[in-house]
Structures are given as structure tokens and as C-alpha cells.
Chains A and B, each alone.
Chain A
Amino acid sequence: MSPADPSQPDPPSGQPEKDRWPVLRDHVYDGIQEFDQPLPNWWLWTLYLAILWTLTVWFWEFQIARPLNLAKPDGQRVSEAVTEVKDRQAAHLTQVLSTLDDRRFWEMARNPEVTARGQTTYENICAACHAKDLSAMMGGAKLPGLPLNDAEWKYGGKPLDIFRTVTKGSPDPTKGMIAWEPQLGGVKVAEIVAYILSTHQPEADLTAK
């Protein structure tokens, strides 16, 4: 019996549907037949729950949370998160700076452990534009950065000036370096500065122009 035959009466309700399955449908398509199994319950419930979930979430988001300002828009949420991280960065920087002055930098520059760490970071990141030998030249071609092995310091040649330039970037970023502190943090920048200083004589040739 085809369950699709509308002229047939519904089966007596007392008889559980399960006992009548599987019913093989009459129609044969190019030798292919079809059972008319009921849908697996767990599958049906997955579908129902997903639909219910959609209605609930939409109702919550757009009927309640947003109109009543219970949920923060993405832009606000991310701005707050970023502000929090930036505060942390600033606090850290202040802390690093409070322990640093020009004299301390020169001490660090004479500490081989510190300069070795600084050199590693320098060669990973700074050497791209300033060259491994600080000359900002590679194979006769000029690299994007300024040379760091001469006495000319565009943004000030005191250790703290150099530290500021690396952390904050050049005053006009379209012409010069980006700020590296968000990427590296104060300690790493200080190590890099110490490494650069270690290739110079204390105060002798670091002139601001």
C-alpha cells in the first residue's frame, strides 16, 4: 500500500507508526526504489532546535538587547578592548622609562647579555630597512631607513631621543618609520637602542642635527 494514496483512510491511531515501516514506495525510477522511512528523530530535533535558536537569538538581539542598549556594538566593544591594551602598554612604558636615563642606557650598551638580545631583535626587524651593519645600504643600493652608524641623528642623538623615535615612530610617518612600541613593547625597544649604542662611543659622535 502506498502511504501517499489519499483514498486510503488514515491507519488506526492505536497502531504505532514504527511497526509499519519501512514501506517501500511503489514507484520505480530506472530501477531505483525508495523507502518511505520516517525522519530520524535526533535529526529532526537538530533542525527544530536550530530554528528555535535562530528565532530566540534574533529576538534577543534585535527586539531586546539592542533597543535597550544592553549589548555593545562591535565598534564600541573593540575600541574599549584596544583602549585597555593601550593603557597597559602606556603603563608599561612609563615603568620602563622610569628606570631609564641616558646614563643607564650606556650601561646597558656595555652589558653583552642585553646587547645580544637587542641584536637579535634588530636583525629580525630593523635590519630590513637599516641593514645588518647599520649602514642602511645593501649591495650598493640605499635601503628605506636612515643610516645608524654615523653621527647624524635626525630626531635627536641622545639615547632617550633614540628610544622615543623607535617607540613612537617618526613625526611624519609618511616619510619615515612607524611606531614600534605597539609591536615590540618597551623592553625590546630598549634592548635595540642599547645594541645600537654599543656600536658607538659614549656621547662622542652622537650629535643631534
Chain B
Amino acid sequence: MNPVQTSVEFDDRTVRRFLIAMLFWGTIALLAGVLIAFQLHRWQLNGKEFGGGEGIEWLTFGRLRPVHTNAAIFAFVGNMMFAGIYYSTQRLCKVRMASDILSGIHFWGWQFIIVCAAVTLPLGLTRGKEYAELIWPINVLVAVVWVIFGLNFFLTLKRRNEPSLYVALWFYIATIITVAMLYIVNHLSIPTGWTHSYPLFGGVQDALIQWWYGHNAVAFFLTTPILGIMYYFMPKAAERPVYSYRLSIVHFWSLVFIYIWAGPHHLLNTALPYWLQMLGVLFSLMLWAPSWGGMLNGLLTLRGAWHKLRTDPVIKFFAAAVTFYGMATFEGPLLAIRSVNALSHYSDWTIGHVHSGTLGWNGFMAAGMTYWLVPRLWKTELARPGWANMHFWIGLVGILMYVAAMWISGITQGLMLNQLSDDGSLKYQFLDTLKAIRPLMLFRAIGGTLYLAGFVMMVINVWLSVRGREPVNGSIRVVVETPKKPPFWKAIFAEPVIFPALAITGYCLWFLLPGLYAWGGLVLGLDMSWRTVWLFVRHKRKWTAWYEGLLENWAPFSLLVLVAAAAGGMLQIIPTLTFNRAANVEDRLQIVPTPLELAGRDIYISEGCYGCHSQMVRTLAPEVLRYGDYSRLGESIFDYPFQWGSKRTGPDLAREAGKRNNTWHYQHLMDPRALSAGSNMPSYHWLDTQKTDLASLPRRVAVQLQLGVPYPAMTQDEIRQRAIEQGVGIAQDLRKNGLYVDPESRMVALIAYLQKLGLSEEVTPPERPMGAMVPITAQP
């Protein structure tokens, strides 16, 4: 076929839409963040101060925190990523997006999802898993819209007029495939109604899957797409070639492969089996170099263009963003060391760490990209270049203030909590530590406010720039050629795939198998590693040519990405699903909650209590002294979803049962400061007047049974009856102290649940089945 010359007009309208949506939702996400940051310093900002009595339920920290996190991740960075991907993919493929209809559905579908989230989360409709809080009908929408986005993207790749895939596209491919995998697995649930469901996995299994998802949401939603965007916009803005193509290859594949394994570092020193903790620690350490590869390739691309740093706000933002990326990915492996994590986990240090990533890396990349795109998408100039400069400095000071406050806060609190007096008693009460970090909470909120102010300057600047301007779509002339494609399987069954794959298989067998089999895996791993290196050195050119061929063949490339990204998760999750079940746990088994306690648990989740309270006593002496015996795997095995938590703004509740009487809990929930002077917990007075949803309780128990929670046989009436009886018992107990409470109120259900936390029975661990994992998981 003869080459045909044709003209392509890009679909830049979708890019503009996503860009505007990003500016809008970014402002909302930051506003929500600033509000809840101030709430931690001054709880009355939950509505009490705007005339909302003792506080407004949908303005409390527990319900707004998921609004903030979901808005920041999915609304702000999501829309930013789509704008960047739609703009760059069309140009890198020299073709218009495959379907305007799919682009339209993607855009409006995504905005509809965000609106749904913004409505449901403050109402307390949640799945109770971090960054996966949205209720199941919205989950289905997200999955559908994501698949539509993927379809649109891959069809565009298929029709491209540029034979070779540029590195930015590799990162987009990794994003689309891996996010789909993570999202779907972590959102598997069984509905109990239109707005509520229980996740398919519980206890340690849920913990592992949640953090496989949570950690890699950071990796594949907040990192890989932004790296792709960096690879496109950085050389464009700097007008310099990318520093190193080889570095791109090595750091891309190592990043995609290693990142997935690091999830368990969110669960260090917990009841998670030791071998999984070790995988989390070691892979986090190995992740350092691949992450820095991205930073190096970004920063060194600026060689020869450093003078632009003084004048061009775009370069300024990009350079700072990539530097923050480097700092955050250096801090990450550090925090993943078990002894450091013992201090930092559950404290503000971790929160500071993620914010240096989101504010510094994501936020500044978004700003740089916006300032670069706006003049091109509307054929205009930035109305106020000085404001962009101001935005940079005010934002930078904001982040630094935020991160510094959180370092000091986290380390202070961690040290205080671990400190013992000479007589062996704990030196500080939890509340003492809270009072100590209170001023830092103010600094952090001010830092966030500065950052928000900078962002608003950008929004105004963009509005001033595009006001009255005509949107312009880019276009190019291309020569359409029929690409010659190497066959699919030939691209995959090649030395550079087979040998590393065999090496990795060997190591995986070594990780998993017991005794002598493990040695076999190790030998295979080492042997194949050696062969890989040897073949690479010998056939460098052949291997390079093979990779260039692969780059012209998007389907095998994507398949390899999928395999690389799926490996780590599968190796960790499948053994956990088969071996860490209720029938096969350590020496304690959780007592199944009664129907009322289950209802209370759902209220606990709905109010977002897990945002501030963990239920996990780690294997650390000060923690055992403060909260009681360390948590065992079996003690949360019937928790759908698990409630180990990730942050302690309040104390751990794993062993709350029986520590305090019902009167204490009632009065504490009504007015926390009456019993805990200096507490920043909001008042939960509305629980006193709202009724527990007893009607749906039988359905919830039925789903729990389906999931494998051994409830005794009960009819629907018996379930409700038992709940009411237990509630009456608690109400009567409260009445003895002159407190008149409706036995069917949510308050009573929540108290019932709190009085059950940590109750377990001693069981004799069964003989462990023979096979994989035996020598490893046998370690308590």
C-alpha cells in the first residue's frame, strides 16, 4: 500500500474539559483538607462554630477525611492525569483519540462519579476501606468508566501513526492495566442493600489486599501516570532531549515489577505473618533506585536548560515537583524499615510523607502542566506570569511548613508514647501526647492554607487567561503507513523475557517453598540471573533490537506489563487467602459479634472511626504496656472489613472491651472532653437520637454467614429480638446511673460494639497442613 498523507485534528476539547475539572475539584479537595486539618487543632470547626449545636454529623473529621482523600486522589489527580494523557497520547501516536463518544462518556462519567462520592461520603455511606470507601454501585461505575477509558486508549494505540511507543505511553499502559486490576480485586464485595456491602475478604486477608491496593494506588494512580506526564511535558518545556533512554527502560520495568510487592510495609510489626512483613521491607528498599531513576531522568533532562529555572514558572514547578518525588521516594524506604516504622507508623510522620508526595509531586506537576497547556489550548498567553511565580513560592513555603510540622509532630508523639519512667510505668498518657502536638496541628493547617491560596491564584490566573478566548485544537499532517508488526508470541517468547522470568520464578519458589525445595528455587533463581546477565552482555545489540521491536507492538508490551505488575500481588495474596483462614490461625479466635454488635460495628465504620483509631496492638513493648497483649491474627479474622487502622489520632481500641463501663462510653461519646480533657474528638450526640437500622440486620447477618462468619442459626425475628434485648440490657445499665437512653439508638449499638472489641477465645492451633508456607508462617 502506498503511503497516504492526511491531516489529523486532535481532540483537545476533552483535554480542556479535564483540565477545568481538575482546577475545580482540586480546589474542593484542598478546601476539604484545610478544613479537616483545622479540625484536628480545633474540633469545634465540625459545625459547632457555625451554629450547628454540638457539631454537624456530616462535617465531622471521620466523614470528611474520605472526602478529602478521595477528592485529592481521584478527582484532582485523576482529572489531571486524564488531561495529560489525552493531550500527550494523541500527539505521541499522531492520531486523534479513537472515539469522541468514549472520551465524552469517560469525562462525564468520571465527573458524575465524583459528585456521587461527594454526596455519599458525608452521609456516612462508606465501605470503610481507605481510598476505597465509595459504596458498591459507585464502584461499578468507576470500573466501567475506567474500562471505557482503557478501551479508548488502547484503540488509539492500535490506530497510531507512529510505530514506536514513547516512554510516556509505557507508563500510561502500566497505569491503566494495574489500576484496573487493583481496583477490581479490592472492591469485590457482597451487597446487603443498595448502599451497603461487606468486602469479600476479612481480617488479615483484607488487610493485605487493602494495602496491596492502597500502596499501589500511590504507585499506579499517583506515580506512574505522572511520570508519563513528566516524560512528555518536561522535555517539551525544557526543549531538551530526555536524559537517558536506557535509564527509562531500566527504571520503568523495575518500578512496575517491584512496587507491587511493597504493600505489606503498611502493616509492619502487626499480626501480619513475618515473611510478608519481610517482603514489604526488602522490596521497599529495592524500590529506592527505580524511583530515583525517574527523578534523575527528569532532573537531568534539564541539563542545558537550567537558566530557564529563573524565568519559566513551568520549569520551576517541574523541577521542584521531581525533587519532591525524589525526597518522598527516599523517605518511603526509610519509613519501611521495621524499627523506624515502629516509631513512625500510626503517627503524623506518615501523613507528612504522603503530603510531600501529593502536594509536592502531584500538585506541582499539575501546576506546571497547567501553565504549559493553557496558552496552547486557548492560543493565548498567561494573563499574570507574576502570579504563577507567586503561586510557586507560596505553595513551596506551604508544603515545607506542612511537612516540617508533621515530622516534628510524628517524631515527638512517637517518642513520647514509647517512653517509660524509671519505675517501668508509661511516662505519658495518650492525651499528653495529643496536647504536645496541638500547636503543630495549627502549623500544618496554615501550611495547607498557603498551598490552597497558591492553587486558587492559579485558578484565577487561568480564568483571566482564557476568558473570551477561542479554544484551539492542535493538528498535524501525517503519513499513514501500514506498520510492519513482528508476530505477537515472538515478541514475548524471547530471551530477554524468558531468562529474567525464570530467575524471578526461582526466587518466588525460594520465598514460598519449605526446606529443601526452597534451596531448589534459590539455585534456579541464581542460575537464571547469571544467565540473564551473561546473555545480555553477549547479545546487547540483539536484546536492544528486540526491545525496539517490542515498542512497535503494543499488545505484547501491555501483556508483559500486566504480568510484571501482577506477580508480586499474586505471590503474597494467594498463600494468604489459602493459609490464613479462621480454621488455621494462631492461638486465639475472635468471638463472633452479636447482631447488635455487628450493627454497632457498621456504625463505627460509617462514622469513619477507623480514620483516627486503630485496632491493632503491635508487637512492641510500649504498646503492649499501654493497650494490652499484642494482637493475634485470629482476633480480627471475622472483621469484614479489617479495622487495623493506619493512623492514631486517638488511642488504639483493639482491647477496649471491659476497660471502661457503659456510662463512661455514653458520656464520652456525648462529650469527649467531659472525661478526656484536651481531646479533639468530635461529639457524637446524634447517635443518641438516631435509631439503629434493625430492619436490615438480618440481611447483614446473612451476608456475614455467606462470607464464613460462624453465626448461630437464627431466624430474622430472632436476630432483631436479640439485638433489642441486648440494647435493653445496656439501656438498663445506663439507667442505674441516671442516663435515659433509647435501647434502639445507634449510641447503644456502638457501645455494645466497643464493649466487645478484643474478645476472643483460646483455641489450640490445628496441625498445619503440609505444603508451602509451613516453615515461614509457623512463626508467630
Contact = CB atoms under 8 A, between A and B. Distances in A.
A89 B425 contact: yes
Nearest to B245: A34
Contacts of B658: 173-174
A181 B626 CA distance: 11
Interface string B536-549: 00001110110010
B429 interface: yes
A100 interface: no
Interface stretch (B11-19, B67-75, B283-291, B316-324): B283-291
Contacts of B423: 88-89, 92, 185-187
A29 B162 contact: yes
B544 A6 contact: yes
Interface stretch (B349-357, B448-456, B659-667): B659-667
Nearest to A57: B282
Nearest to B282: A54
Interface in A105-133: 124-125, 127-129
Given A32-B166, A46-B292, A129-B675, A178 B254 contact: no
Contacts, number: 201
B508 to A, nearest CB: 12
Nearest to B679: A128
Interface in B514-559: 518-519, 522, 540-542, 544-545, 548
A6 B166 CA distance: 20
Contact of B241 (A5, A34, A62, A144): A34
Given A38-B246, A47-B286, A138-B674, A78 B278 contact: no
A88 B422 CA distance: 9
A35 to B, nearest CB: 5
B236 interface: yes
A129 B664 contact: yes
B676 interface: yes
Interface residues of B, number: 82
A24 interface: yes
A10 B539 CA distance: 10
B46 to A, nearest CB: 22
Interface string B374-386: 0000000000000
B624 interface: yes
A32 B422 CA distance: 65
B424 A88 contact: yes
Interface stretch (A66-74, A155-163, A195-203): A66-74
A40 B510 CA distance: 31
Given A34-B244, A182-B625, A176 B620 contact: no
A208 interface: no
Interface in B600-647: 619-621, 624-626, 630
Nearest to A88: B424
A142 interface: yes
Main secondary structure of the interface of B (DSSP, over half): helix
B460 interface: no
A25 interface: yes
A63 interface: yes
Contact of A8 (B246, B248, B285, B541): B541
B340 interface: no
A79 to B, nearest CB: 8
Contacts of A103: none
Interface string A4-35: 11101010000000000000110101111111
Interface stretch (B707-715, B718-726, B772-780): B772-780
Which of A38, A82, A125: most chain B CB closer than 10 A?
A: A82
A151 interface: no
A15 to B, nearest CB: 15
Contact of B619 (A27, A32, A78, A142): A78
Interface string B745-780: 000000000010000000000000000000110011
B425 A185 contact: yes
A47 B675 contact: no
A27 B164 contact: yes
B661 A178 contact: no
B198 interface: no
Given A50-B289, A88-B423, A128 B675 contact: yes
Contacts of B429: 124-125, 183
Contacts of B269: 74
Contacts of A44: 289
Contacts of B77: none
Contacts of B674: 128, 138
A114 B285 CA distance: 53
Contacts of B775: 62, 66-67
A175 interface: yes
A141 B92 contact: no
A190 B667 CA distance: 28
Contacts of B293: 43
A33 B243 CA distance: 9
A36 B248 CA distance: 10
A15 B424 CA distance: 68
Given A78-B621, A175-B661, A185-B424, A141 B283 contact: no
A188 to B, nearest CB: 8
Contacts of A207: none
A171 interface: no
Given A66-B779, A88-B424, A61 B675 contact: no
A73 B674 CA distance: 42
B444 interface: no
A129 B425 CA distance: 21
B296 A43 contact: yes
Contacts of B243: 35, 37
Given A32-B242, A54-B282, A43 B292 contact: yes
Contacts of A144: 660-661, 663-664, 667, 675, 737
B232 interface: yes
Given A37-B243, A174-B658, A4 B541 contact: yes
B738 A142 contact: yes
A34 B242 contact: yes
Which of B243, B282, B511: most chain A CB closer than 10 A?
A: B282
A35 B242 contact: yes
Interface of A: 3-6, 8, 10, 24-25, 27, 29-40, 43-44, 46-47, 50-51, 53-55, 57-59, 61-63, 66-67, 73-78, 81-82, 85-86, 88-89, 92, 124-125, 127-129, 138, 141-144, 173-176, 178, 181-188
19 contacts: A6-B541, A10-B540, A30-B162, A32-B241, A34-B241, A36-B244, A37-B244, A43-B296, A46-B289, A50-B289, A51-B286, A58-B278, A58-B510, A62-B518, A62-B776, A143-B667, A181-B425, A185-B423, A185-B425
Given A34-B244, A62-B776, 12 more contacts: A6-B545, A8-B541, A33-B241, A36-B244, A62-B775, A73-B780, A74-B780, A89-B423, A124-B429, A144-B667, A185-B424, A188-B425
Q: What are the 10 A-B residue pairs with the smallest beta carbon separation, nearest first? A: A185-B425, A144-B664, A47-B289, A88-B424, A37-B244, A174-B658, A89-B424, A33-B241, A81-B621, A92-B423
